[in-house]
A and B are shown apart, each in its own frame.
Chain A
Amino acid sequence: MRRTFVQSLALYATVVFTLAMILFPVYWLLVTALSTTDELYRLPPTFWPTDPQWDIFARVWAAKPILLWLWNSMLAAIGSVALSMLVSVSAGYALSRYSMRGGATMGMFVLTAKMLPATLLVIPLFSIFSSFGLIGSLWTLVLAHSTMIIPFATWMLKGYFDTIPKELEQAAMVDGCSPVGAMVRVVLPIATPGLAATALYAFVLSWSDYAYARTFLVNSPDNWTANLGITTMQGEYVTYWNDISAASVFIALPIIAIYLFLERYLVGGLTAGAEK
């Protein structure tokens, strides 16, 4: 079908508008980082700094332990992704494939954990972690983030497994696989897009956390995550927004890298050809 000129115009206008909405904060972050302090407070604001301060990135990198913070964030995120994927792949698969007494109720119950606001869980988690002597350790984040990720990830994966015909596992079992073998050799490879999307969701959720890190790690600067580190750059009397923006750019980069890495797995349609 050929689009008329008006239809094309409407289509491109929508695309441009949506992109502008999404990209504006990124652009503003960059402008803020590159502006001098004076220019930041000027009214009306300038849309591109008159004298871009490109050396800000080097200065901030030298002044703050950005690499350490990123490393800690990375450890917490990888730990959370690993733990929550392990649990939610098994749970989502079980909910999708096995009907057990109370299975549906149990599935719904998993979701109720997601309905509690994170702030409500902070205090009980704090007392649990402190009785295990974990406060200050990155393990607190791995565990706390997993409690946020697992309920939703389980349902995402259950939904994905539901779309995979169970005859595929039956065929694999007739071909000599055990039930676990059928899952590992047939179901998981086909579920790659679902696994990648869920892992990305988990990674972003862990990476963007501030509340838990602030509560459990505030007294252990060696274990500060990026988000926690940045907020300490906020001064009591003066805040250098350009420094904070430059640090934020560093923090955003790994997420972009992870996305680019996972993108190739995020394509759909991997079950095509299994049937009919």
Chain B
Amino acid sequence: MANISIRNVSKSYGALNVLRPFSLEIENGEFVVLVGPSGCGKSTMLKILAGLEPASEGQIIIGDREVTDLAPGDRDIAMVFQNYALYPHLTVRQNIGFGLKMRGTDKTEIDRRVDDAARILEVTPYLDRKPKDLSGGQRQRVALGRAIVRQPQAFLMDEPLSNLDAKLRVHMRAEIGALHKRIGVTTVYVTHDQVEAMTMADRVVIMQGGIIQQIAAPDELFNNPANLFVAGFIGSPGMNFLNADLRDGRLTAFGQQLTLPRATSHQGPVVVGLRPEHLTLGEGSVTFGVRPTLVESLGSEKYVYFGAEEARIADGEEGKSKGLIARVSHSGNLPRDQELRLGFDPGQLYLFDAKTGERL
């Protein structure tokens, strides 16, 4: 077990910058999740940590050793791949024991440790099978077994659950969490699923376009997003955004003049963010009437979709956007064509600079 220190690491393929200079200190035993949309450089970061890709610049320290120029096998890390990458010609036992065998561990010791790992991951009955005779979830466990058996300094996991069906994914998510609690190895986990990030992480690193947007604990990310991207990425359904003009601490939204409780000196165009769950039916210090375009029922909760003149549609989302959403507690029937009153507290609004996207 060890801490990992990433110092000013960057990566470019020729003229293409995939990772801007990047620094991150990961504590011993911490579970850090890298999350972001497809192509933002998550896998690249993980491969640099593993030594499968060289960094263009910067240093990587694992424990007290600088590993920047070491081969993957010399870094004492284990990696779980998105597609598992089990050795198809070897049995489960040989798959799990492969790394130990490569390091010259003696036969009885390998057997003992493989048996231990198999017991933890409940794959003992399959030890003599080939990977092709296993189900998706069992393959996933074998891939994890191959990682834990070596007792490495750190685990690197690249979207290990993305090939599983929804139910198994939730189950394995809990299992990986429990496994981490039990063996406490420093883990860097990559996903593009914000729910996975929020539920598993000690700290989340949100990336977009090769740039770190924010590093924080899950609750902190949710409550204090650093910018528009983070605010829109975290939370489901996503935050509502409105375009507005801020003048002397006042702005116009939903056809009303609002006075912000917090003082801000910013003047000019802003983006106002409001979480769907902060909208309530009929109450609140500010209320407004809407005619819903769609009401989705989840039983005791309803998602009310409605339009607003100021609604801000993200680039590339024109047309497919359903407008704004309110997530309200209501177990009765909400007819679609009937006008509703929604309310909110101006203290729960988020304000972002319209040009830079930074939180105000």
Contacts and interface: CB of A to CB of B under 8 A. Distances in A.
Interface string B73-106: 1000111011111111100000000110011000
A272 interface: yes
B87 A274 contact: yes
Interface stretch (A73-81, A145-153, A165-173): A165-173
A273 to B, nearest CB: 3
Interface string A242-276: 00000000000000000000000000001111111
A172 B98 contact: yes
Contact of B83 (A167, A175, A181): A167
Given A272-B132, A273-B134, A273-B139, A175 B99 contact: yes
B279 interface: no
Contacts of A274: 83-88, 131
Contacts of B77: 174
A271 to B, nearest CB: 5
Given A173-B52, A273-B132, A167 B85 contact: yes
A177 interface: yes
Nearest to B132: A273
A174 B52 contact: yes
Contact of B50 (A168, A174, A270, A273): A174
B72 A273 contact: no
A195 to B, nearest CB: 13
Contact of A165 (B83, B99, B139): B83
Given A171-B81, A173-B73, A190 B102 contact: no
B130 interface: yes
Interface in A168-210: 168, 170-178, 181, 186, 189-190
A276 B163 contact: yes
Nearest to B82: A167
A172 B88 CA distance: 12
Given A173-B71, A174-B77, A275 B83 contact: yes
Contacts, number: 89
B89 A173 contact: no
Contacts of A178: 71, 73
B157 to A, nearest CB: 12
A273 B85 contact: no
A273 B88 contact: yes
Interface in B118-154: 130-134, 136, 139, 146, 150
Interface residues of A, number: 23
A176 B99 contact: yes
Nearest to B89: A189
Contact of A190 (B47, B50, B89, B136): B89
Given A171-B85, A176-B103, A276 B71 contact: no
A66 B103 CA distance: 52
A12 to B, nearest CB: 33
Nearest to A173: B72
Given A175-B102, A177-B102, A190-B89, A276 B84 contact: yes
Contacts of A276: 83-84, 136, 139, 163
A112 B141 CA distance: 48
A165 B131 CA distance: 15
Contacts of A167: 81-83, 85
Interface centre among A167, A172, A270, A273 (most CB of B within 10 A): A273
A270 B139 CA distance: 16
A190 B95 CA distance: 14
Contacts of B88: 190, 270-274
Identify the 7 closest CB pairs spanning chains A and B, nearest first.
A273-B132, A273-B131, A176-B102, A176-B73, A175-B99, A167-B85, A272-B132
Interface of B: 47, 50-52, 71-73, 77-79, 81-89, 98-99, 102-103, 130-134, 136, 139, 146, 150, 163
6 contacts: A173-B71, A175-B73, A175-B146, A177-B73, A274-B85, A274-B87
Given A190-B88, A275-B85, A275-B163, 14 more contacts: A170-B72, A172-B98, A173-B71, A173-B72, A174-B51, A174-B52, A175-B99, A176-B103, A189-B89, A270-B88, A270-B89, A273-B133, A274-B86, A276-B163
